[in-house]
Chains A and B, each alone.
Chain A
Amino acid sequence: MKWMQFFTPAKSLDFNETEKFIANHPGDEITILDVRQLSEYKESHIPGANLIPLPQLSDRLGELDPQKPVLVY
């Protein structure tokens, strides 16, 4: 078991910081990751967000580029 994955903290960005971060990076240089369920995503999501529901995330990490900054919500 790789425990580090459970304890590595991620920095938090508030709304203004997130908006600025997205505005300053071209869409193909960052990943906006929505980990909610499909029904929630369909109702409303940050433009450009990729949907990978949390229960599927560990199996689908290969779909994401680890070199790009990831904004998760």
Chain B
Amino acid sequence: MLSGKGFQKVFNVSGGIKAWHAKTAIGPQDLGLDLFTGKEEPLDVLKVAYSLEQGLREFYLQMGKEAENPKIEDLFAKLSEIEVKHQMSIYIAYNDISTKEVSKDEFEKMVEIKALEGGLSTREYLELFGSDLDSETQVISLAMSIEAQALDLYQRLSLKVGNRQSRDIINKIAKEEKAHLASLGKLMDSL
């Protein structure tokens, strides 16, 4: 149908979702989009993105505290450190485009945490993936699920946001999530 309607490059994903062996995302197409109005200026996008990273970081820290296995505790600590790096790049991006430079403390005061990365709450993630994570593989699998969800959210969001610069920022963050997902995949393969 698409090929005959002027679409230049159409590819059939052979086997469909059943043949898709990488991480999938869940939920309706508007999941998590309530965190954004679609009219955000670039600076607002960065504030919301920062809050999502912060929510996830706190989630990993909490999971690390509850872990009984030291290896699992270490892994959650590493995952939370990765989120700190993401947050730092968002903060730097904010100051790059803001007319007034803000300190990290000032920036954090402007940020309101409503959900974790990917648009789901801590409770929703735990209901989906369970809290009894007792192997490194399970922990990385959880992290990969969250990153897939985050990638999904940002890509759906880029269709909703009208401002071109905001959209570019969202696409850049989505690209980082994609890279993060790939590196978690490599980590999983190395175990």
CA distance A64 to B13 in the complex (A): 18
Contact of B25 among A21, A38, A46 (CB under 8 A): A46
Q: Do A46 and B4 contact each other (CB < 8 Å), given the known contacts A69-B9, A69-B11, A73-B12?
A: no
B1 contacts which chain A residues (CB < 8 A)? Answer: 5-6, 57-58
Contact of B171 among A26, A43, A57, A64 (CB under 8 A): A26
Interface string of A5-37 (1 = CB under 8 A from B): 111111111110011010100111000001010
Q: Is the CB of A42 within 8 A of B5?
A: no
CA distance A72 to B3 in the complex (A): 11
Interface string of A33-65 (1 = CB under 8 A from B): 010101011111111111100000110010010
Closest to B10 in A: A10
Q: Is the CB of B29 within 8 A of A50?
A: yes
Closest to A58 in B: B1
Q: Is the CB of A43 within 8 A of B25?
A: no
> How many positions in chain A have a CB within 8 Å of any CB in the partner chain?
47
Q: Is the CB of A51 within 8 A of B11?
A: no
Q: Is the CB of B16 within 8 A of A73?
A: yes
Q: Is the CB of B23 within 8 A of A72?
A: no
Give B residues with C-beta under 8 Å from A.
Answer: 1-17, 19-29, 148-149, 151-152, 154-156, 158-159, 167, 171, 174-175, 178, 182
B27 contacts which chain A residues (CB < 8 A)? Answer: 42
Q: Do A48 and B155 contact each other (CB < 8 Å), given the known contacts A15-B19, A61-B5?
A: yes
Q: Do A18 and B148 contact each other (CB < 8 Å), given the known contacts A66-B5, A71-B11?
A: no
Contact of B2 among A7, A28, A36, A61 (CB under 8 A): A61
With A11-B11, A45-B25, A48-B155 known, 10 other A-B pairs at CB within 8 A are A7-B4, A12-B12, A14-B19, A42-B27, A45-B152, A48-B25, A50-B156, A66-B5, A73-B13, A73-B17
B24 contacts which chain A residues (CB < 8 A)? Answer: 44-47
Q: Is the CB of B20 within 8 A of A15?
A: yes
